């Protein structure tokens, strides 16, 4: 079965679950009508189905490679990227002043997810540029914006982000790359960066790197980090390209997946760069890029899950094996355990997608209104959207292999590629453990106010749903109360180690409850006995109960984690 873009799912979520009407009611996004949104999703879906999906296997079999210092991309990728660029898909949410569409992040999130379903390796390239565009819009000088943004938005130039160094992974403050003021408005950047997605390619005129580095005399840690824009070729004032900058691709990483996406080791040898934002403001500028990138990576996980689900479903509907008491098709889709796996995949994809789009709506409302409550909601939902979206991607892709049985580990079927490709998303943009620590620490510095506000909304909604769906509504309400008790316990812990010890199961439990709420919302909008109601019933009565064990774990504290010494762990 070829990939089918789930346009109808996005439309249903926008219209009935996540509240895109609120976004459309703002002055900033009033032109994002239902007709326009439908047209955008439909055209993007065609691009994904007809252009990107055929490149999925090609990128895996003919990976990018380094030749004489230049990255050669996988077969068909140059044409695929050109189709993305000429369609305007890179600049969907970018400022129209520089050639962007100015669409809500909600719509961009849906399109990016579809692209991830079709060909995750290639989708990484426009996602990197989108992050750089946003960072420059917020922190770049007028001169940088005027020169770089039109080129990045059009796809003539591509963008990257350079954080990680061999000795400084998640601990960004330990980086050692240096920047020296040249005295003419530019800086000389020196150092090595690793894990740079799409650090080079053979289809863009220029590759523009955002690089974190430290100025002389800057304080230790993250406060001493500045952000610099370092292009592969130095542009002239008119935008034409001048001489090559003193930077190079040292090597490409040999990865378990995402073979079509070149992950580069970058070397900067007194390369010319321009300061983005103030000195010492590098992390603030980079986090402008990273926060929405975290939502984008969550969408990548969901997209990979969608692709893996469609792949597994097609196989299950075709493969004949054994006999069952219930025989709709005569294939393995009739087996109870295969149905369990497929239903779990489908229900979790819906929950993760709805959480991600709810986060995107909160970002849009923040951008449109500047309201602090919307900003707090977006900040709170971001780590959940990223971690749960990528966890679901990994789990669904793994389940897809199981449905294929022995054929799942045979590369020709394509099932294993989804698992190999999506695995790194739980590590990108801050590991999922870091996301959970962020949730229980920084996002609860308000004493749990934002968390409890969300829980209040879920409970009120469940109470309103009791007349139509008493069992489902009661289950959601009860789970929410349990989550509230755990939230109160966490916020009462002054020792952060106690919070961190249970942060991962707490985040997962919060996602489970949010998923139940959003499934219940979908059931209320469905016709009686409809598909959405059936899926909601499966999620709420079978998957939501996991929250109880997760919350027990979340409140267990840290003592037993350290009860064994390091020597005992190694014995």
Q: How far apart are CA 93 and CA 130, in angstroms?
A: 8
Q: How far apart are CA 411 and CA 427, in angstroms?
A: 24
> What's the token pair of residue 420?
């190999």
- CB of 455 closer than 8 Å to CB of 447: no
Q: How far apart are CA 35 and CA 400, in angstroms?
A: 35
Q: How far apart are CA 318 and CA 309, in angstroms?
A: 14
**CA geometry: angle 111, 7, 156, nearest 5 deg:** 25
- Active-site residue, 137 included: no
Q: How far apart are CA 44 and CA 249, in angstroms?
A: 32
Matching residue, tokens 């400084």: 168
Q: How far apart are CA 313 and CA 293, in angstroms?
A: 30
Helix, coil or strand: residue 461: helix
Q: How far apart are CA 387 and CA 298, in angstroms?
A: 7
CA 208 to chain centroid: 22
Nearest to 413 by CA among 399, 400, 395, 422: 400
The answer for residues whose C-beta is within 8 angstroms of residue 435's C-beta and 6 or more apart is 294, 383, 384, 386, 387, 507
Give 103's DSSP letter.
-
The answer for residues whose C-beta is within 8 angstroms of residue 437's C-beta and 6 or more apart is 499, 500, 503
Active-site option among 165, 306, 395, 429: 429
Active site residues: 429
């Amino acid at each position: 079965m070829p990939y089918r873009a789930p346009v109808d799912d996005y439309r249903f979520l926008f219209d009935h679950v996540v509240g895109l009407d609120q976004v459309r009611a703002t002055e900033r996004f009033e032109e994002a009508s239902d007709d326009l949104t439908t047209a955008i999703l439909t055209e993007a879906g065609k691009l994904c189905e007809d252009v990107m999906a055929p490149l999925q296997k090609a990128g895996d079999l003919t990976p990018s490679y380094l030749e004489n210092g230049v990255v050669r991309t996988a077969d068909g990728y140059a044409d695929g990227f050109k189709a993305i660029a000429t369609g305007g898909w890179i600049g969907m949410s970018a400022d129209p002043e520089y050639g962007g569409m100015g669409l809500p992040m909600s719509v961009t999130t849906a399109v990016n997810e579809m692209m991830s379903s079709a060909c995750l390796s290639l989708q990484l390239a426009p996602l990197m540029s989108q992050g750089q565009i946003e960072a420059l819009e917020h922190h770049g000088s007028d001169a940088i914006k005027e020169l770089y943004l039109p080129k990045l938005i059009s796809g003539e130039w591509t963008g990257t982000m350079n954080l990680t160094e061999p000795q400084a992974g998640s601990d960004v403050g330990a980086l050692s790359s240096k920047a020296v003021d040249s005295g003419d408005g530019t800086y000389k950047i020196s150092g090595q960066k690793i894990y740079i997605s799409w650090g080079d390619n053979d289809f863009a005129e220029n590759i523009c790197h955002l690089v974190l580095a430290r100025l002389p005399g800057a304080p230790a840690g993250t406060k001493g980090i500045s952000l610099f824009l370092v292009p592969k070729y130095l542009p002239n004032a008119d935008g034409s390209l001048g001489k090559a900058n003193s930077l190079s691709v040292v090597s490409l990483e040999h990865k378990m997946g995402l073979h079509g996406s070149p992950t580069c080791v970058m070397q900067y040898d007194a390369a010319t760069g321009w300061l983005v934002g103030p000195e010492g403001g590098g992390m603030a500028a980079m986090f402008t890029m990273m926060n929405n990138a975290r939502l984008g990576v969550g969408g990548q996980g969901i997209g990979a899950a969608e692709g893996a689900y469609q792949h597994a479903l097609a196989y299950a509907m075709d493969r004949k094996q054994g006999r069952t008491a219930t025989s709709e098709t005569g294939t393995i889709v009739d087996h109870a355990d295969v149905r369990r796996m497929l239903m779990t995949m489908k229900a979790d994809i819906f929950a993760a997608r709805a959480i991600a789009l709810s986060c995107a709506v909160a970002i849009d409302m923040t951008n449109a209104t500047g309201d602090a409550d919307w900003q707090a909601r977006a900040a709170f939902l971001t780590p959940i959207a990223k971690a749960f979206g990528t966890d679901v991607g990994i789990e669904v892709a793994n389940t897809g292999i199981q449905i294929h049985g022995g054929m799942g580990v045979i590369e020709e079927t394509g099932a294993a590629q989804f698992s190999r490709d999506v695995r790194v998303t739980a590590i990108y943009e801050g590991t999922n453990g870091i996301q959970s620590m962020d949730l229980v620490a920084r996002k609860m510095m308000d004493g749990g106010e934002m968390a409890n506000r969300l829980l209040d909304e879920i409970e009120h909604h469940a109470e309103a749903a009791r007349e139509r769906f008493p069992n489902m509504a009661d289950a959601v309400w009860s789970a929410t109360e349990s989550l509230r008790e755990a939230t109160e316990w966490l916020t009462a812990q002054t020792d952060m180690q106690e919070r961190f010890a249970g942060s991962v199961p707490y985040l997962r439990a919060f996602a489970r409850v949010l998923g139940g709420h959003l499934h219940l919302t979908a059931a209320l909008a469905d016709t009686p006995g409809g598909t959405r109601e059936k899926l909601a019933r499966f999620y709420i009565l079978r998957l939501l109960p996991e929250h109880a064990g997760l919350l027990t774990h979340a409140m267990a504290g840290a003592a037993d984690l350290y009860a064994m010494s390091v020597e005992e762990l190694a014995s």
